[in-house]
Structure 1
């Protein structure tokens, strides 16, 4: 039983990696910063950390990849990129910066502050709403101190 599950997971991972390699080629047509990437650099491990969990199943229930311009996996959260997750409960596609820290977060906020109207125009457009729906996620309780002053 365990061997059978392991074989299925490996086959699924190989198929997912082939998909990610093909996706990288397509994205590189409009974002050349990721053209040097391959699935092995972008795909997350399928094994769960079960040390402190009551659920001891060894595998995650999804495959995930974060495609960025980072040269090493350890740097992927320091770059904006493309995230895809395919699993039992569905599919998720996301883009942008994930939990940016310190100076990077400040730089993002400054860029938005300098031209908020352009961002608002994009997220209020019918095309954006058609493909992405309404903006979701966490919000600041109060705006950050004035950035451009």
Structure 2
């Protein structure tokens, strides 16, 4: 059962009753529905209606109306408030489903884009990683260069010694 859709239909019922009631002249100018009337008109479970009415009442979209008669409270029922009329007209409870699905799709797209970017980064790192053989070749070349530099340094040192010996 979709509670939000049911809330919307109950608000619609309250609004219809209020509009029909206003067309006729009544002293209170308010239309009330009891839980039993809502259960009968909407073919819903009594407990479900109680939960939905509690939620609508907590959001101040309907109000509980008691009438004081001879210092005793007698319950008339629930009446829709202006907030409830706006919630119905704005389709507040019908939009919740689309907003949630939009949020879920947004989350899924975010996760998918993260996965694609992660794969792209890993592929780039893998392509830029040199082969082990290439690293070995580079190391050998560096060692050869170092060795040739050392040989040149040693050779230049021998030449200096020889010149020094010859000049003596």
TM-score (normalised: structure 2): 0.21
Larger radius of gyration: 2
Q: RCO (CA 8 Å, sep 6+): is it higher in 1 or 2?
A: 2
